[in-house]
Amino acid sequence: MINIPKGMKDVLPSEVYLWHHIEETARKTAERFSFKEIRTPVVEYTELFSRGVGDTTDIVNKEMYTFLDKGNRSVTLRPEGTAGVARAFLGNGLAGGAMPFKAYYLISAFRYERPQAGRLREFHQFGAELYGAEGAYADAETISFADAFLKNLGLKNVALRINSIGCKSCRARYQTALREYFAPHLSEMCLDCKTRFEKNPMRMLDCKEETCKKFTAHAPEMLNYLCDACEKHFKEVKSLLDAAGIVYHVDPSIVRGLDYYSRTVFEFISSAAGAQGTVLGGGRYDGLLEQMGEKAVPAVGFAAGMERLLMVMAAEEAPVPQDKNVCCYLAGLDANARAKTYCLAQTLRNEGISCEIDLQDRSLKAQFKYADKIGARFVAVLGENEMLEGAAEVKDMKISRSERVKFEELAAYLNKKISAEVSASEVIL
Ligand code: ATP
Ligand code: MG
């Protein structure tokens, strides 16, 4: 037998309804905020990520699935969604269309990480991008969107943490202060931090090594180095969140793992997810599009990890709709009746009713056992008598009661029964 690649997971038919629920909640929330879906390739030229995500990040340095294609070009399985959307935005000339540009994505992403709970090598993200608006309203709108999505999923114990990491000019002063602070401790810090110290000392604040955390905990805070414009922007974002009733904590330790961020950064953290508590992260990245194209376009966005959301939803026992099982199993007792089940099934399906028939020539007992296993809501039995009468014996599997229903009335009968149940059980977004 050939095994599944390490750090990857199958989504089985029995659990896919949970994914559909998250995806549907994402789509509905996006629609309310007037974001449209964008789909970009799984594979991009490696340069897009080394330039876009940034070559001082863990993602680019250690985690990328990079290989040469048959034409000897270096390509990479996307480790995140933003760089591809930014490329598509520039490459398709969308800056010339309606602005701001607002798009969301539901994607799989690939990172060569050490697999553990909530950390996979293939994982899935729901993300959003808002390009062209530099004011605080765009940050607040993006955070509200993320917040609404998590609330629509029924999550309650997810806390929003925000910070500002300033712009190029105020960050330069901050980096100097960080280097001054870390220099005397550098010999005790990890190898990665030594490189980060040279290339991008702010990355050190994101280090997960215990020995390094000891020092990063007392490092100078970016908030004390913000220039006037960045300080004003951050203040506005906070007051807009206050006005929307969105609760947040300012957390100076949040710097985000990607190079392209500026000003606002935020994370939604769950206490129910264990070590991998960040279910959603985002922020502003005003420098990204300029770095990839020719002109500056302000940008803000977020990405949520779907596997982590599933973990948190399970831990919080968030309400989810039930898996939809087949409505009616049609059991035929002999060749004649079986032929009729085949025709009846076509009619029912045309009427929008899900149904199944026996495909393995099984006994009635075996057919009932199967219908039970797949959770069929009704079983319609057709034997010699039923064929003569032109009616099926329809068993309601929930209450174990049967009724005779004429073949031509079967669709209407089932539709009436299930429509009452669906409207009663639907989880309302
Ligand atoms: P972490 O600090 O946990 O490594 P990150 O900063 O690398 O996260 P982002 O690049 O911001 O994460 O991705 C956004 C979201 O995608 C994360 O908040 C998380 O929910 C999810 N995510 C990131 N990496 C993985 C992974 N390897 N497996 C599963 N989910 C992931
Ligand atoms: Mg990471």
- Average pLDDT of span 36-45: 98
Model confidence band, residue 425 (pLDDT cutoffs 50, 70, 90): low
Instruction: Look at residue 340 and tell me whether its pLDDT is greater than 80.
Output: yes
CB 119 near ligand 1, within 6 Å: yes
Nearest-CA residue for atom 16 of ligand 1 = 305
Report the pLDDT value the prediction gives residue 360, as an integer from 0 to 100.
96
From residue 397, alpha-carbon distances to 327, 331, 337, 369 in Å are: 10, 14, 21, 12
Model confidence band, residue 420 (pLDDT cutoffs 50, 70, 90): confident
Report the pLDDT value the prediction gives residue 300, as an integer from 0 to 100.
98
Write the DSSP assignment of 301-340 as a string of letters. Answer: EEEEEHHHHHHHHHHHT---PPPPPPSEEEEESSHHHHHH
Q: Do 92 and 120 touch, CB atoms closer than 8 A?
A: no
Model confidence band, residue 424 (pLDDT cutoffs 50, 70, 90): low
CB 259 near ligand 1, within 6 Å: no
Nearest-CA residue for atom 9 of ligand 1 = 281
Angstrom distance (rounded) from CA 401 to CA 407: 18
CB atoms within 10 A of CB 291: 14
Report the pLDDT value the prediction gives residue 223, as an integer from 0 to 100.
92
- Per residue in 203-243, pLDDT (tens digit) is 898 888 899 999 998 999 999 999 999 999 999 999 999 99
Q: Ligand 1 atom closest to Cα of 63?
A: 27
User: Residues 325-359, buried b or exposed e (16+ Cβ, 10 A)?
Assistant: eebbbbbbbeeebbebbeebbeebeeeebbbbbbe
Tokens matching residue 26? 């994402």
Model confidence band, residue 171 (pLDDT cutoffs 50, 70, 90): confident
Q: Which residues contact 34 (CB under 8 A, 6 or more apart)?
A: 102
What predicted TM-score, i.e. pTM, was given to this entire model?
0.92
- Per residue in 235-257, pLDDT (tens digit) is 999 999 999 999 999 998 888 76
**170 closest CA partner among 224, 250, 251:** 224
- Per residue in 271-316, pLDDT (tens digit) is 887 777 899 999 999 989 998 887 889 999 999 999 999 999 999 9
Report the pLDDT value the prediction gives residue 56, as an integer from 0 to 100.
74
Model confidence band, residue 258 (pLDDT cutoffs 50, 70, 90): low
Nearest-CA residue for atom 11 of ligand 1 = 281
- Per residue in 70-106, pLDDT (tens digit) is 999 999 999 999 999 999 999 999 999 999 999 999 9
Q: Pick the ligand that lies closest to the CA of residue 260.
A: 1
CB 111 near ligand 1, within 6 Å: yes
Angstrom distance (rounded) from CA 221 to CA 165: 9
Task: Map residue 246 onto helix, strand or coil.
Answer: coil
CB 305 near ligand 1, within 6 Å: yes
- Per residue in 93-152, pLDDT (tens digit) is 999 999 999 999 999 999 999 999 999 999 999 999 999 999 999 999 999 999 999 999
420 or 252: which carries more pLDDT confidence? Answer: 252
- Average pLDDT of span 194-205: 89
